[in-house]
Protein backbone atom coordinates (compact mmCIF):
# COMPACT_ATOMS: atom_id res chain seq x y z
CA UNK A 1 0.00 0.00 0.00
CA UNK A 2 1.23 3.45 -0.90
CA UNK A 3 0.67 4.83 2.59
CA UNK A 4 2.51 2.01 4.28
CA UNK A 5 5.38 2.31 1.88
CA UNK A 6 5.56 6.02 2.39
CA UNK A 7 5.45 5.55 6.14
CA UNK A 8 8.31 3.03 5.98
CA UNK A 9 10.33 5.21 3.66
CA UNK A 10 9.83 8.18 5.92
CA UNK A 11 10.86 6.24 9.01
CA UNK A 12 13.95 4.92 7.26
CA UNK A 13 14.98 8.29 6.01
CA UNK A 14 14.45 9.81 9.46
CA UNK A 15 16.63 7.10 11.01
CA UNK A 16 19.30 7.50 8.35
CA UNK A 17 19.28 11.25 8.80
CA UNK A 18 19.67 10.92 12.53
CA UNK A 19 22.63 8.60 12.22
CA UNK A 20 24.20 10.88 9.70
CA UNK A 21 23.52 14.03 11.72
CA UNK A 22 24.66 13.02 15.16
CA UNK A 23 28.36 12.44 15.42
CA UNK A 24 28.26 13.57 19.06
CA UNK A 25 26.20 10.64 20.17
CA UNK A 26 22.88 11.88 18.97
CA UNK A 27 19.40 11.11 20.02
CA UNK A 28 18.96 7.38 20.22
CA UNK A 29 20.08 6.16 16.84
CA UNK A 30 21.08 2.58 16.39
CA UNK A 31 21.54 1.66 20.03
CA UNK A 32 17.88 1.81 20.88
CA UNK A 33 17.65 -1.88 21.66
CA UNK A 34 20.73 -2.27 23.86
CA UNK A 35 20.53 -4.19 27.10
CA UNK A 36 21.27 -1.09 29.13
CA UNK A 37 17.78 0.21 28.76
CA UNK A 38 16.35 -3.01 29.97
CA UNK A 39 18.61 -3.01 33.00
CA UNK A 40 17.68 0.50 34.01
CA UNK A 41 14.01 -0.06 33.30
CA UNK A 42 13.94 -3.34 35.19
CA UNK A 43 15.56 -1.77 38.20
CA UNK A 44 13.00 1.03 38.12
CA UNK A 45 10.13 -1.38 37.95
CA UNK A 46 11.57 -3.18 40.92
CA UNK A 47 11.52 0.09 42.83
CA UNK A 48 15.24 0.77 42.49
CA UNK A 49 16.99 3.42 40.50
CA UNK A 50 18.70 1.40 37.84
CA UNK A 51 22.24 1.70 39.06
CA UNK A 52 24.43 -1.02 40.43
CA UNK A 53 23.29 -3.54 37.85
CA UNK A 54 25.82 -2.80 35.17
CA UNK A 55 29.16 -1.06 35.50
CA UNK A 56 29.31 2.27 33.65
CA UNK A 57 31.59 0.85 30.98
CA UNK A 58 30.14 -2.65 31.19
CA UNK A 59 28.37 -4.66 28.54
CA UNK A 60 25.19 -3.11 27.32
CA UNK A 61 25.74 0.23 29.05
CA UNK A 62 24.82 3.44 27.23
CA UNK A 63 27.85 5.15 25.69
CA UNK A 64 28.70 8.27 27.66
CA UNK A 65 27.81 10.74 24.90
CA UNK A 66 24.39 9.26 24.15
CA UNK A 67 20.91 9.37 25.62
CA UNK A 68 19.85 6.73 28.12
CA UNK A 69 17.24 4.40 26.82
CA UNK A 70 14.74 4.88 29.55
CA UNK A 71 11.60 6.64 28.49
CA UNK A 72 10.56 10.09 29.70
CA UNK A 73 7.34 8.43 30.88
CA UNK A 74 9.25 6.15 33.23
CA UNK A 75 11.34 9.04 34.50
CA UNK A 76 8.33 11.26 35.30
CA UNK A 77 6.34 8.44 36.88
CA UNK A 78 9.31 7.40 38.98
CA UNK A 79 9.48 10.86 40.56
CA UNK A 80 5.68 11.13 40.81
CA UNK A 81 5.46 7.77 42.62
CA UNK A 82 8.20 8.65 45.10
CA UNK A 83 6.69 12.04 45.92
CA UNK A 84 3.13 10.65 46.12
CA UNK A 85 4.33 8.03 48.58
CA UNK A 86 6.21 10.58 50.66
CA UNK A 87 3.17 12.85 51.06
CA UNK A 88 0.93 9.84 51.79
CA UNK A 89 -1.31 10.36 48.75
CA UNK A 90 -4.06 7.71 48.71
CA UNK A 91 -3.50 5.03 46.04
CA UNK A 92 -6.82 5.74 44.33
CA UNK A 93 -6.07 9.48 44.15
CA UNK A 94 -2.56 8.73 42.86
CA UNK A 95 -4.10 6.57 40.13
CA UNK A 96 -6.27 9.50 38.99
CA UNK A 97 -3.37 11.97 39.00
CA UNK A 98 -0.89 9.62 37.33
CA UNK A 99 -3.00 8.96 34.25
CA UNK A 100 -4.17 11.38 31.58
CA UNK A 101 -7.71 12.78 31.35
CA UNK A 102 -7.88 12.66 27.54
CA UNK A 103 -5.61 11.33 24.78
CA UNK A 104 -6.27 12.14 21.14
CA UNK A 105 -4.46 10.47 18.25
CA UNK A 106 -4.90 11.63 14.67
CA UNK A 107 -3.64 10.70 11.22
CA UNK A 108 -1.71 13.37 9.30
CA UNK A 109 -1.21 12.43 5.63
CA UNK A 110 1.04 14.94 3.85
CA UNK A 111 1.96 14.94 0.17
CA UNK A 112 5.61 15.96 0.10
CA UNK A 113 7.77 17.25 -2.73
CA UNK A 114 8.56 13.64 -3.75
CA UNK A 115 4.85 13.46 -4.73
CA UNK A 116 4.20 10.70 -2.21
CA UNK A 117 1.83 10.71 0.71
CA UNK A 118 3.71 10.46 4.00
CA UNK A 119 1.52 9.45 6.91
CA UNK A 120 2.45 10.92 10.30
CA UNK A 121 0.71 10.48 13.62
CA UNK A 122 -0.28 13.43 15.80
CA UNK A 123 -1.05 13.29 19.52
CA UNK A 124 -2.58 15.66 22.04
CA UNK A 125 -2.60 14.45 25.62
CA UNK A 126 -4.53 16.47 28.24
CA UNK A 127 -3.16 15.21 31.50
CA UNK A 128 -4.91 17.17 34.23
CA UNK A 129 -7.14 20.26 34.14
CA UNK A 130 -7.95 20.66 37.84
CA UNK A 131 -6.12 23.99 38.16
CA UNK A 132 -7.11 25.58 34.82
CA UNK A 133 -7.12 25.10 31.05
CA UNK A 134 -4.69 22.50 29.69
CA UNK A 135 -1.38 24.01 28.61
CA UNK A 136 1.64 22.53 26.86
CA UNK A 137 3.84 22.58 23.80
CA UNK A 138 3.70 20.77 20.48
CA UNK A 139 6.80 18.83 19.42
CA UNK A 140 7.61 17.87 15.80
CA UNK A 141 10.22 15.11 15.96
CA UNK A 142 10.51 11.61 14.44
CA UNK A 143 10.80 10.01 17.91
CA UNK A 144 7.51 11.44 19.21
CA UNK A 145 5.22 8.69 20.48
CA UNK A 146 2.26 8.45 22.83
CA UNK A 147 4.37 7.54 25.86
CA UNK A 148 6.64 10.53 25.42
CA UNK A 149 3.72 12.92 24.95
CA UNK A 150 2.02 11.46 28.04
CA UNK A 151 5.17 12.00 30.10
CA UNK A 152 5.60 15.56 28.92
CA UNK A 153 1.91 16.31 29.57
CA UNK A 154 2.22 15.00 33.12
CA UNK A 155 5.35 17.08 33.67
CA UNK A 156 3.38 20.17 32.56
CA UNK A 157 0.70 19.50 35.20
CA UNK A 158 3.30 19.58 37.99
CA UNK A 159 5.24 22.45 36.40
CA UNK A 160 2.29 24.85 36.19
CA UNK A 161 1.30 23.93 39.75
CA UNK A 162 4.82 24.54 41.12
CA UNK A 163 5.02 27.87 39.28
CA UNK A 164 1.59 28.72 40.70
CA UNK A 165 0.03 29.72 37.37
CA UNK A 166 -3.62 28.84 36.63
CA UNK A 167 -3.19 26.03 34.13
CA UNK A 168 -3.38 22.28 33.90
CA UNK A 169 -0.94 20.17 31.91
CA UNK A 170 -0.96 18.95 28.31
CA UNK A 171 1.44 18.16 25.49
CA UNK A 172 1.21 17.46 21.79
CA UNK A 173 3.42 16.08 19.09
CA UNK A 174 3.69 14.83 15.54
CA UNK A 175 6.24 12.13 14.65
CA UNK A 176 7.42 13.95 11.51
CA UNK A 177 11.09 14.50 10.65
CA UNK A 178 10.90 18.25 11.27
CA UNK A 179 14.57 18.80 10.43
CA UNK A 180 14.15 17.56 6.88
CA UNK A 181 10.74 19.07 6.06
CA UNK A 182 10.58 22.08 3.78
CA UNK A 183 8.69 25.08 5.20
CA UNK A 184 5.56 24.42 3.14
CA UNK A 185 5.55 20.76 4.27
CA UNK A 186 5.84 21.81 7.90
CA UNK A 187 2.95 24.20 7.33
CA UNK A 188 0.82 21.33 5.99
CA UNK A 189 1.62 19.25 9.08
CA UNK A 190 0.80 22.15 11.43
CA UNK A 191 -2.50 23.00 9.71
CA UNK A 192 -3.60 19.38 9.36
CA UNK A 193 -2.80 18.70 13.03
CA UNK A 194 -4.74 21.76 14.19
CA UNK A 195 -7.76 21.02 12.01
CA UNK A 196 -7.98 17.54 13.54
CA UNK A 197 -7.61 18.44 17.20
CA UNK A 198 -9.38 21.83 17.23
CA UNK A 199 -12.45 20.39 18.95
CA UNK A 200 -10.54 19.59 22.13
CA UNK A 201 -8.72 22.94 22.12
CA UNK A 202 -9.86 26.49 22.93
CA UNK A 203 -8.62 29.54 24.85
CA UNK A 204 -10.44 28.33 27.97
CA UNK A 205 -9.89 24.63 27.25
CA UNK A 206 -6.38 23.84 25.96
CA UNK A 207 -3.71 26.22 24.63
CA UNK A 208 -0.71 24.79 22.68
CA UNK A 209 2.76 26.41 22.40
CA UNK A 210 6.06 25.66 20.62
CA UNK A 211 8.50 22.94 21.68
CA UNK A 212 11.30 21.02 19.94
CA UNK A 213 10.91 21.27 16.14
CA UNK A 214 8.23 23.98 16.27
CA UNK A 215 8.49 27.76 16.65
CA UNK A 216 6.61 31.05 16.41
CA UNK A 217 5.91 30.47 12.70
CA UNK A 218 4.34 27.07 13.48
CA UNK A 219 2.10 28.75 16.06
CA UNK A 220 1.09 31.39 13.49
CA UNK A 221 -0.07 28.64 11.09
CA UNK A 222 -1.92 26.85 13.88
CA UNK A 223 -3.65 30.07 14.99
CA UNK A 224 -4.63 30.83 11.41
CA UNK A 225 -6.08 27.35 10.91
CA UNK A 226 -8.05 27.59 14.14
CA UNK A 227 -9.28 31.03 13.04
CA UNK A 228 -10.72 29.58 9.81
CA UNK A 229 -12.90 27.28 11.90
CA UNK A 230 -13.73 29.48 14.89
CA UNK A 231 -12.93 33.12 13.99
CA UNK A 232 -9.79 35.09 14.90
CA UNK A 233 -8.61 33.74 18.26
CA UNK A 234 -5.05 34.77 19.18
CA UNK A 235 -5.36 33.22 22.67
CA UNK A 236 -5.64 29.74 21.13
CA UNK A 237 -1.84 29.33 21.03
CA UNK A 238 1.10 31.06 22.71
CA UNK A 239 4.66 31.56 21.52
CA UNK A 240 3.34 33.48 18.48
CA UNK A 241 5.32 36.06 16.52
CA UNK A 242 5.24 39.60 17.94
CA UNK A 243 3.37 40.72 14.79
CA UNK A 244 0.52 38.32 15.66
CA UNK A 245 -0.05 39.27 19.30
CA UNK A 246 2.90 37.29 20.62
CA UNK A 247 4.44 38.57 23.84
CA UNK A 248 7.69 40.45 24.18
CA UNK A 249 10.12 38.25 26.08
CA UNK A 250 8.49 34.92 25.16
CA UNK A 251 11.26 33.65 22.89
CA UNK A 252 13.93 34.12 25.55
CA UNK A 253 11.68 33.22 28.49
CA UNK A 254 12.74 29.63 29.20
CA UNK A 255 16.43 30.57 29.04
CA UNK A 256 15.82 33.67 31.17
CA UNK A 257 13.87 31.60 33.71
CA UNK A 258 16.83 29.21 34.02
CA UNK A 259 19.08 32.15 34.81
CA UNK A 260 16.71 33.38 37.54
CA UNK A 261 16.85 29.88 39.04
CA UNK A 262 20.65 29.80 38.72
CA UNK A 263 20.97 33.09 40.59
CA UNK A 264 18.92 31.73 43.50
CA UNK A 265 20.86 28.46 43.63
CA UNK A 266 24.24 30.19 43.22
CA UNK A 267 23.50 32.41 46.20
CA UNK A 268 22.63 29.34 48.28
CA UNK A 269 25.86 27.58 47.25
CA UNK A 270 28.12 30.61 47.64
CA UNK A 271 28.86 30.87 43.89
CA UNK A 272 29.26 34.35 42.37
CA UNK A 273 27.46 34.29 38.98
CA UNK A 274 29.77 36.98 37.58
CA UNK A 275 32.79 34.78 38.23
CA UNK A 276 31.27 31.47 37.20
CA UNK A 277 31.81 29.21 34.20
CA UNK A 278 28.98 27.32 32.52
CA UNK A 279 28.50 24.60 29.90
CA UNK A 280 25.43 24.23 27.70
CA UNK A 281 24.40 20.93 26.15
CA UNK A 282 21.95 21.76 23.33
CA UNK A 283 22.54 25.28 21.99
CA UNK A 284 18.99 25.72 20.61
CA UNK A 285 16.29 28.13 21.75
CA UNK A 286 16.59 27.42 25.47
CA UNK A 287 20.36 26.86 25.56
CA UNK A 288 21.33 29.85 23.44
CA UNK A 289 19.10 32.30 25.32
CA UNK A 290 20.27 31.00 28.70
CA UNK A 291 23.86 31.49 27.45
CA UNK A 292 23.31 35.03 26.26
CA UNK A 293 21.61 36.05 29.51
CA UNK A 294 24.22 34.27 31.68
CA UNK A 295 26.88 36.18 29.76
CA UNK A 296 25.13 39.46 30.62
CA UNK A 297 25.73 38.54 34.28
CA UNK A 298 29.44 38.16 33.55
CA UNK A 299 29.45 34.35 33.54
CA UNK A 300 31.69 32.57 31.02
CA UNK A 301 30.41 30.00 28.50
CA UNK A 302 33.24 27.44 28.40
CA UNK A 303 31.62 24.73 26.26
CA UNK A 304 28.49 24.22 24.15
CA UNK A 305 27.04 21.50 21.94
CA UNK A 306 24.27 20.79 19.50
CA UNK A 307 23.21 17.67 17.60
CA UNK A 308 26.16 18.04 15.23
CA UNK A 309 29.10 18.63 17.54
CA UNK A 310 30.58 20.59 20.42
CA UNK A 311 33.06 23.43 21.04
CA UNK A 312 35.09 24.61 24.01
CA UNK A 313 37.13 27.62 24.99
CA UNK A 314 38.73 28.12 28.39
CA UNK A 315 38.76 31.87 27.70
CA UNK A 316 35.01 31.74 27.06
CA UNK A 317 32.89 31.42 23.92
CA UNK A 318 31.06 34.58 22.92
CA UNK A 319 27.43 33.47 23.32
CA UNK A 320 26.06 36.31 21.14
CA UNK A 321 28.50 35.52 18.33
CA UNK A 322 27.79 31.80 18.66
CA UNK A 323 24.03 32.40 18.44
CA UNK A 324 24.51 34.56 15.31
CA UNK A 325 26.79 31.90 13.80
CA UNK A 326 24.04 29.27 14.31
CA UNK A 327 21.28 31.62 13.11
CA UNK A 328 23.30 32.13 9.90
CA UNK A 329 23.26 28.36 9.34
CA UNK A 330 26.70 27.62 10.82
CA UNK A 331 27.54 24.55 12.87
CA UNK A 332 28.84 24.95 16.42
CA UNK A 333 31.85 22.80 15.67
CA UNK A 334 32.91 25.23 12.91
CA UNK A 335 32.80 28.28 15.21
CA UNK A 336 36.14 30.04 15.04
CA UNK A 337 36.15 31.23 18.64
CA UNK A 338 36.59 27.72 20.10
CA UNK A 339 38.13 24.27 19.56
CA UNK A 340 36.04 21.28 18.53
CA UNK A 341 35.52 18.66 21.25
CA UNK A 342 33.54 15.42 21.61
CA UNK A 343 30.24 15.01 23.45
CA UNK A 344 32.10 13.28 26.28
CA UNK A 345 34.67 16.07 26.54
CA UNK A 346 31.77 18.49 26.84
CA UNK A 347 30.51 16.63 29.89
CA UNK A 348 34.01 16.63 31.38
CA UNK A 349 34.57 20.36 30.98
CA UNK A 350 35.16 21.91 34.38
CA UNK A 351 32.58 24.55 35.25
CA UNK A 352 30.36 25.75 38.07
CA UNK A 353 27.07 25.03 36.28
CA UNK A 354 26.06 22.54 33.62
CA UNK A 355 22.87 23.32 31.67
CA UNK A 356 21.34 20.38 29.79
CA UNK A 357 19.07 21.97 27.15
CA UNK A 358 18.78 19.28 24.46
CA UNK A 359 16.53 16.24 24.87
CA UNK A 360 15.50 13.81 27.61
CA UNK A 361 17.79 11.13 29.08
CA UNK A 362 21.09 12.84 28.19
CA UNK A 363 22.55 12.46 31.73
CA UNK A 364 22.41 8.81 32.69
CA UNK A 365 24.20 6.29 34.84
CA UNK A 366 27.01 5.80 32.31
CA UNK A 367 28.01 9.45 32.18
CA UNK A 368 26.83 11.15 35.39
CA UNK A 369 30.23 10.50 36.99
CA UNK A 370 31.89 12.53 34.25
CA UNK A 371 30.24 15.86 35.00
CA UNK A 372 32.69 18.37 36.51
CA UNK A 373 30.27 20.94 37.89
CA UNK A 374 28.81 22.01 41.23
CA UNK A 375 25.34 22.59 39.91
CA UNK A 376 23.00 21.31 37.17
CA UNK A 377 20.13 23.58 36.08
CA UNK A 378 17.83 21.50 33.87
CA UNK A 379 16.64 23.33 30.77
CA UNK A 380 15.50 20.23 28.88
CA UNK A 381 12.61 18.09 30.04
CA UNK A 382 13.71 14.89 31.84
CA UNK A 383 17.41 15.27 30.94
CA UNK A 384 18.52 13.26 34.01
CA UNK A 385 17.56 9.63 34.61
CA UNK A 386 16.74 8.55 38.17
CA UNK A 387 20.00 6.55 38.34
CA UNK A 388 22.02 9.58 37.29
CA UNK A 389 20.11 11.75 39.74
CA UNK A 390 21.27 9.49 42.59
CA UNK A 391 24.86 9.58 41.36
CA UNK A 392 24.80 13.38 41.25
CA UNK A 393 23.28 13.53 44.72
CA UNK A 394 25.95 11.17 46.11
CA UNK A 395 28.63 13.34 44.50
CA UNK A 396 27.18 16.48 46.06
CA UNK A 397 26.15 18.04 42.73
CA UNK A 398 23.12 20.24 43.35
CA UNK A 399 20.29 19.84 40.79
CA UNK A 400 17.60 22.43 40.05
CA UNK A 401 15.08 20.11 38.35
CA UNK A 402 13.29 20.63 35.04
CA UNK A 403 9.86 20.73 36.66
CA UNK A 404 10.72 24.10 38.22
CA UNK A 405 13.84 25.30 36.34
CA UNK A 406 12.44 25.43 32.81
CA UNK A 407 9.01 26.86 33.72
CA UNK A 408 9.94 30.30 32.31
CA UNK A 409 8.45 29.46 28.91
CA UNK A 410 5.05 28.49 30.23
CA UNK A 411 5.03 31.44 32.63
CA UNK A 412 5.50 33.93 29.78
CA UNK A 413 3.01 31.91 27.72
CA UNK A 414 0.59 32.62 30.55
CA UNK A 415 1.41 36.33 30.23
CA UNK A 416 0.89 36.14 26.45
CA UNK A 417 -2.49 34.45 26.91
CA UNK A 418 -3.54 37.03 29.53
CA UNK A 419 -2.52 39.85 27.14
CA UNK A 420 -4.40 38.19 24.24
CA UNK A 421 -7.59 37.80 26.26
CA UNK A 422 -7.49 41.55 26.97
CA UNK A 423 -6.04 42.52 23.54
CA UNK A 424 -3.39 44.44 25.43
CA UNK A 425 0.41 44.45 25.26
CA UNK A 426 2.97 44.68 28.06
CA UNK A 427 6.48 46.09 27.71
CA UNK A 428 9.35 43.58 27.72
CA UNK A 429 10.72 44.97 31.00
CA UNK A 430 7.36 44.34 32.67
CA UNK A 431 7.27 40.77 31.31
CA UNK A 432 10.80 40.01 32.54
CA UNK A 433 10.15 41.49 35.99
CA UNK A 434 6.94 39.50 36.41
CA UNK A 435 8.74 36.36 35.23
CA UNK A 436 11.50 36.95 37.78
CA UNK A 437 8.98 37.30 40.61
CA UNK A 438 7.26 34.00 39.73
CA UNK A 439 10.51 32.06 39.26
CA UNK A 440 11.98 33.33 42.54
CA UNK A 441 8.77 32.54 44.39
CA UNK A 442 8.75 28.98 43.00
CA UNK A 443 12.40 28.50 43.96
CA UNK A 444 11.83 29.71 47.51
CA UNK A 445 8.70 27.62 48.02
CA UNK A 446 10.46 24.48 46.82
CA UNK A 447 13.60 25.32 48.84
CA UNK A 448 11.49 25.71 51.98
CA UNK A 449 9.84 22.35 51.35
CA UNK A 450 13.19 20.67 50.66
CA UNK A 451 14.56 22.01 53.92
CA UNK A 452 11.50 21.06 55.95
CA UNK A 453 11.29 17.52 54.57
CA UNK A 454 15.07 17.06 54.18
CA UNK A 455 14.68 15.90 50.58
CA UNK A 456 16.34 16.94 47.30
CA UNK A 457 14.73 19.76 45.34
CA UNK A 458 13.27 17.41 42.73
CA UNK A 459 11.28 15.46 45.26
CA UNK A 460 10.28 18.64 47.11
CA UNK A 461 9.09 20.20 43.83
CA UNK A 462 6.94 17.18 42.96
CA UNK A 463 5.51 17.18 46.50
CA UNK A 464 4.48 20.82 46.16
CA UNK A 465 3.00 20.28 42.68
CA UNK A 466 1.09 17.12 43.53
CA UNK A 467 -0.41 18.62 46.68
CA UNK A 468 -1.65 21.68 44.78
CA UNK A 469 -3.24 19.60 42.01
CA UNK A 470 -4.81 17.10 44.44
CA UNK A 471 -6.19 19.98 46.50
CA UNK A 472 -7.74 21.65 43.42
CA UNK A 473 -9.22 18.36 42.16
CA UNK A 474 -10.73 17.69 45.60
CA UNK A 475 -12.05 21.22 46.09
CA UNK A 476 -13.77 21.16 42.68
CA UNK A 477 -15.32 17.82 43.54
CA UNK A 478 -13.56 15.94 40.72
CA UNK A 479 -12.26 13.48 43.31
CA UNK A 480 -13.44 12.95 46.86
P1 LIG B 1 15.52 23.42 20.07
O2 LIG B 1 15.13 22.45 19.04
O3 LIG B 1 15.51 24.88 19.77
O4 LIG B 1 16.99 23.10 20.61
C5 LIG B 1 17.44 21.81 20.93
C6 LIG B 1 18.94 21.82 20.76
O7 LIG B 1 19.46 20.57 21.20
C8 LIG B 1 19.39 21.98 19.30
O9 LIG B 1 20.50 22.86 19.25
C10 LIG B 1 19.83 20.57 18.92
O11 LIG B 1 20.81 20.59 17.90
C12 LIG B 1 20.40 20.11 20.24
N13 LIG B 1 20.56 18.67 20.35
C14 LIG B 1 19.75 17.67 19.90
N15 LIG B 1 20.31 16.48 20.16
C16 LIG B 1 21.48 16.73 20.78
C17 LIG B 1 22.52 15.90 21.29
N18 LIG B 1 22.46 14.59 21.19
N19 LIG B 1 23.58 16.49 21.88
C20 LIG B 1 23.65 17.85 22.00
N21 LIG B 1 22.71 18.67 21.52
C22 LIG B 1 21.64 18.12 20.92
O23 LIG B 1 14.58 23.10 21.32
P24 LIG B 1 14.31 23.99 22.60
O25 LIG B 1 13.00 24.67 22.43
O26 LIG B 1 15.52 24.78 22.93
O27 LIG B 1 14.07 22.85 23.69
C28 LIG B 1 15.17 22.18 24.29
C29 LIG B 1 14.68 21.40 25.49
O30 LIG B 1 14.06 22.30 26.42
C31 LIG B 1 13.62 20.33 25.19
O32 LIG B 1 13.80 19.25 26.08
C33 LIG B 1 12.32 21.05 25.50
O34 LIG B 1 11.27 20.16 25.81
C35 LIG B 1 12.73 21.86 26.70
N36 LIG B 1 11.90 23.01 26.95
C37 LIG B 1 11.72 23.97 26.00
C38 LIG B 1 10.94 25.08 26.30
C39 LIG B 1 10.78 26.22 25.32
O40 LIG B 1 10.17 27.23 25.67
N41 LIG B 1 11.33 26.12 24.10
C42 LIG B 1 10.30 25.17 27.53
C43 LIG B 1 10.50 24.17 28.49
C44 LIG B 1 11.31 23.10 28.18
Sheet of 102-111: strand order equals 102-111, 117-128, 169-174, 134-140, 206-210
Give the model confidence (pLDDT) of 137-160 as tens digits: 999 999 999 999 999 999 999 999
Q: How far apart are CA 335 and CA 340, in angstroms?
A: 8
In this prediction, residue 62 carries a pLDDT of: 65
Decide: 346 and 303 in contact? Cβ < 8 Å: yes
In this prediction, residue 9 carries a pLDDT of: 34
In this prediction, residue 50 carries a pLDDT of: 33
pLDDT band at 70 (very low <50, low <70, confident <90, very high): confident
- Which residues are designated catalytic? 171
Q: Indicate which atom in ligand 1 lies nearest the CA of residue 27.
A: 18
Decide: 220 and 239 in contact? Cβ < 8 Å: no
Question: For the residues of 25-93, what is the DSSP string, one character each?
Answer: --SSGGGGG-HHHHHHHHHHHTTS-S-SSS-TTSTTPPPTTS--SS-HHHHHHHHHHHHHHHTT--HHH
Give the model confidence (pLDDT) of 198-207 as tens digits: 999 999 999 9
Give the model confidence (pLDDT) of 219-242 as tens digits: 999 999 999 999 999 999 999 999
In this prediction, residue 166 carries a pLDDT of: 98
- Alpha carbon of 56 to ligand 1 centroid (Å): 26
Give the residue, by CA position, lying nearest to ligand 1 atom 40: 409
- Alpha carbon of 333 to ligand 1 centroid (Å): 17
Q: Indicate which atom in ligand 1 lies nearest the CA of residue 210.
A: 41
The residue with greater pLDDT, 347 or 73, is 347
Residue 16 has pLDDT above 70, yes or no: no
Q: How far apart are CA 339 and CA 336, in angstroms?
A: 8
State how far the alpha carbon of 218 is from the alpha carbons of 139, 275, 294, 413, 479, in Å.
Answer: 10, 38, 28, 15, 37
State how far the alpha carbon of 271 is from the alpha carbons of 262, 266, 299, 370, in Å.
Answer: 10, 5, 11, 21
pLDDT band at 27 (very low <50, low <70, confident <90, very high): very low
In this prediction, residue 71 carries a pLDDT of: 85
Out of 27-41, 64-78, 198-212, 281-295, pick the least confident.
Answer: 27-41
In this prediction, residue 112 carries a pLDDT of: 95
Whole-model pTM: value is 0.88
Q: pLDDT above 70 covers what percent of the chain? A: 87
**Which among 312, 306, 345, 313 has a CA at the least distance from the CA of 329?**
306
Q: How far apart are CA 239 and CA 82, in angstroms?
A: 33
Give the residue, by CA position, lying nearest to ligand 1 atom 42: 409
Give the residue, by CA position, lying nearest to ligand 1 atom 15: 307
Residue 68 has pLDDT above 80, yes or no: no
Mean pLDDT of 214-219: 96
Ligand 1 proximal residues by C-beta, below 6 Å: 22, 24-27, 211-212, 254, 281-287, 305-307, 357-359, 379-381, 406, 409
Decide: 465 and 162 in contact? Cβ < 8 Å: yes
Give the residue, by CA position, lying nearest to ligand 1 atom 19: 307
Ligand 1 pocket test, candidate residues 311, 357, 407, most atoms within 8 A of CB: 357
pLDDT band at 61 (very low <50, low <70, confident <90, very high): low
Mean pLDDT of 260-280: 97
- Alpha carbon of 3 to ligand 1 centroid (Å): 31
Give the residue, by CA position, lying nearest to ligand 1 atom 27: 212
pLDDT band at 49 (very low <50, low <70, confident <90, very high): very low
Give the model confidence (pLDDT) of 403-458 as tens digits: 999 999 999 999 999 999 999 999 999 999 999 999 999 999 999 999 999 999 99
Amino acid sequence: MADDEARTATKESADAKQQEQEPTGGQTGTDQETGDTVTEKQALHEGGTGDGQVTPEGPGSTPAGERAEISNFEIVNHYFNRAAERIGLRDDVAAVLRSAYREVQVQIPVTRTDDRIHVYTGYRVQHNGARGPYKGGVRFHPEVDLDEVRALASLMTWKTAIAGIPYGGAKGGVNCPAGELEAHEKEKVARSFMSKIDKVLGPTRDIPAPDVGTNAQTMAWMMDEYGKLHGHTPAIVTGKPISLEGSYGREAATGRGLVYMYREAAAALGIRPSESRFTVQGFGNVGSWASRIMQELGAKLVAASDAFGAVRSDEGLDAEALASHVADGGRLRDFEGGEEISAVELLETECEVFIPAALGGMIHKSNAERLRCKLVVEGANSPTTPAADEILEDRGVFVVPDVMANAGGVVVSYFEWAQNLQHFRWEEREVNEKLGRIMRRAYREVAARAEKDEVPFRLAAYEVGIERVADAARTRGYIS
